[in-house]
Amino acid sequence: MTHEPDWEKSARNQQIARRAAERAWRGLWDDLALTPDEEAALRQAEQELDCAEHARSLDYLLRVWSHFVLEVEMGWEDWGYEFTNDLSTRDILECLLKSVPSSIREKVTPLVAPWDARWRAATLRVAEPQWGRFRRGDARIERVPESEIAWWNFRVPKVSWSFEEDRHLYTFVDEDE
C-alpha cells in the first residue's frame, strides 16, 4: 500500500516545528554566559569544524537539531534521504562539542540533553544505523566500526508515512538492550 504525502500538511508541520524550535532557543543562547575566552575557543572550533561541508555555528546546530526532533515528534513526512541528512546534524553537533573546552561542553550539554531525550521518545531503536556508517579517511571512504556510531543513528521515527512501507526492512531492538 502506497501512501501519498500530504504536502500541505508537511509544510505546515515544518513551519510549526521551526517556530517552536525558535521559541525554545530564544534567550537560552544568552543564558550560556560564555566567557570571552570560551567565546573565542568556540568560534575557533566552529571555523575548524571539518566534519561538515558547510560552516556551522553551535547556535545553528542546536536550532536545527531541535527543529528536526520536533518534526519527528509530529510525524516525519519526508523521504529517507532528508531524514539521514537532518540526522547528520546531531553528529556534527557532537563533533563540535568534542572539539571545544570542557567548560563549554558543561554549559551546552544541559541544552542538548532534553532534545536527545525527546529524540529517544519519538523514535524506535533499530539494529542497523541510519547514518554514520562511513567517514572520509586520508584518501578514501572508510567504514566506521559499529561501536563508534552514535546511539541516535540507531533510531527511526515512531510515526512516519515514509518509513511505514519499509517497516519490514528494520530489525527493532528492545530499548533495554
- pTM of the complete model: 0.77
Q: Give burial (CB, 10 Å; 0-12/13-18/19+) of 96.
A: buried
Q: Each residue of 49-81: pLDDT tens digit?
A: 765 555 578 988 988 899 899 999 988 877 677
- Segments making up each domain of the chain, as ranges: 7-169
Which residues, other chains included, contact 51 with Cβ-Cβ below 8 Å and sequence gap of 6+?
A: 91, 92, 95
Q: Report d(CA 28, CA 108) in Å as an integer.
A: 10
Phi and psi at residue 84, to the nearest 5°: -70, -35
DSSP H or E stretch at residue 149: none
Q: Each residue of 114-130: pLDDT tens digit?
A: 999 999 999 999 888 88
